[in-house]
Every structure is written in structure tokens, then in C-alpha cells.
Amino acid sequence: MYIYMKILSDTKLDYSDVLIVPKHSTVTSRNNVNLETTMHFKRCHIQWTGKPIIASNMDTIGTFDVYDVLSKHNIITCFHKFYSAEDFALKYDDSTDNLNPELFMISSGINTNDLERLDLIIKSIPVKYICIDIANGYLQNFVEACKLISNKYPHCVLIAGNVATPEMTETLIVEGNVDIVKIGIGPGSACLTRTQTGVGVPQFSAVLECAERAHKLNRHVIADGGITSPGDLGKAFGAGADFIMLGGVLSGHDENPGEIILKNEKKYKVFYGMSSEKAMKTHYGAMSNYRSSEGRELTVPYKGSLEKTVHDYLGGLRSTCTYINAESLNVFYERCQFVKVNHQINTIYAHHN
């Protein structure tokens, strides 16, 4: 019997496998860098302007308290799936602290209850951005659901994922009529998909290849997961990401839900993946016996105010721009070049800190 095993021979890369090459620059100050960009979504005739960074729709991240901080910076929050239509209506009607439809996304799954909830929310408050989010974006019923939702809400930008290959990116765009495809299978700090299933594509290469395919079709991508430092933002944008979604790096703050935990006189907060046993028990009562946990429950160091982390990441991205002569994110991609590396940073004294 002849057995044929197909192996993609080109090595796929993660953010840790590349560095951005510096070049002669006339951008002399971080203060001169514009991190706001404008995007056009042709299917629904919507134009968006802001900083193209998104808080993940995890229930410790995609919250009203996180939105209150990020919206001041024109950064988007993708709200988690467990806010009700009533929750949104109450938040929206609060005249001192209402919701800007340009700066939030409503998350939904694809089962009947999810879609009924989505419809109630859209009838309760103005919604411009819908994120259809499941762990495995390769399922045909997911593609079909995206098309139905796209047709039902033609006035909304439709985001869908997650996938990690250009072929499926194209399928979601062409067959699912999706405006923005969310890229990332297993790169997140709280994700166990790669160890539990053996499935995934290193995130830098996934973003690079999927973005190229999406842009040829005049659509967009979100790089979702794998960001560990401000420098990774530049690598993701340089790979072609239109937006970057952050999870773990936005955890551990005063604005994240949960009490501060003391361990060995150090402070921590809990952060967990949405496919973890913790998430299943919190929202559904138990972990189903036909599945295993594909997410971690982590204790992350307490970081204080979210404002500090936001300024750190935006400041790092501005600095990246000065190194590659990019006065704005509009020109970042074309001015960004990479070198593959075997080693990135000197860690000789890291164990002392």
C-alpha cells in the first residue's frame, strides 16, 4: 500500500522568530507618530477611524470596565458573550458613561440562543460591529451561519473566526460574506488548543499569509493572540494585520474582574481562556464529558491601572514607527521589513528580577 504524507516544507514563523529591520528615518519623535488609521468596509458602506487595537472578547477582558479605559484612547473593546441585551441597554442609557458604537463589537456564537441574544442586543442599542466567534472556524456550518448573519444585518461590519490559513480566510470572505477574518489557532497565553489537538499555525506566518489573501479580496484581518510585548504589535502590523486583538496583556489590572490574590507576598489576578474548564463551569455549570479543556486558568501578576499598560504598548508602537520611518500606521506595512533570527534578547540577568 502506498502512503503519501503531505508536509508543508517551508518553516512557519512566530513573532519570536523575526525582528524588524531598522532604516534611516525622518520621524524624529514618537510624539510625531499618528497611530490612528481609517478603514473602509465596502460591503456595508462603513468607515472607521481609530487605533486598530481590540480587547479580546474573553470574560475577564471584554468588559464594560475595560471599555471605559480603552474608549478614551479610541481603542475597540470586543465584549464577551455573556452580557445580556438588558446589560447593554442599561450601559448605553447611562448618560454619563454610554457606549460609542464605533468602539465596541458584539460577540456571538452560532447556536439558536446565541443568535436570539444577538438580535435582542441589536434591537436594544446601536450596533455597527458583530464578531461571530467560535474556536474552530473551519466548520461548514460556521461559514453558512456567517452568510446568514451578513444578509440579516447588512448595515453591520461582520467579523468572524478563528482560522489560520489563507484558503479558509478566502472561504469566509467569499462564501461567508465576512468583512474581517480573525486569525489565530492556539497562539494565546491561555490557550491549550495546540497541545490538546496538535492543530495550529505559528502566528506570524498565519497573519502574513492570511492578510495577503484577504487584502487581495479587499477585506481585512485581525491578528488574534500571541502578543507578548509592545514589540509584537509592530511585528503583527508589519505582517499585514489590519487590527490586533489583545487578551493576556490586558489582564491582571484593577479594571479586570476578580479579587487580588496574595501568594508569597506578591499580588496576582486570575485570567483564563474561554475554552478552559474554569470558563465552562462559570458559564455552563460543568465541562461536557465529550470534550477536554482547551484553555488554561492562570494567575497573572497584578499590574495596577490598565492605563499604564495602554501607554506602554502605544508608546512601544510609536517607537517602532520611528525606527522604520513610518509617520503613521497607514504606511507601516510598506515600510516594514523583517529578518529571521535564532535569538532575540539577552537574558543573562533575567533570573535576578
The set of catalytic residues is: 191, 193
| SS3 assignment, position 143 | helix
Count the neighbouring beta carbons within 10 Å of the beta carbon of residue 137.
Answer: 27
CB 190 within 8 A of CB 273: yes
Cα 6 off chain centre by: 31
DSSP 202-261: -HHHHHHHHHHHHHHTT-EEEEES---SHHHHHHHHHHT-SEEEESGGG-SBTTSSS--E
- Smallest CA-to-CA distance from 270 within 238, 307, 297, 290 is with 297
Q: Which residue has the cell 482560522?
A: 163
Question: Counting every residue, how long is the chain?
Answer: 353
- Smallest CA-to-CA distance from 61 within 15, 4, 105 is with 105
Task: List C-alpha distances in Å: 323 to 232, 259, 317, 341.
Answer: 14, 40, 10, 18
DSSP state of 12: P
CB 188 within 8 A of CB 271: no
Cα–Cα distance for residue pair 332/325, rounded to 1 Å: 8
The separation between the first and the last C-alpha atoms of the chain, rounded to the nearest angstrom, is 57
Q: Spell out where the chain has E strands.
A: 18-20, 37-41, 46-55, 75-79, 104-108, 129-133, 157-163, 180-183, 220-224, 243-246, 261-263, 266-272, 297-301, 338-340
Between β-strands 46-55 and 243-246, what pairing exists: parallel, antiparallel or unpaired?
parallel
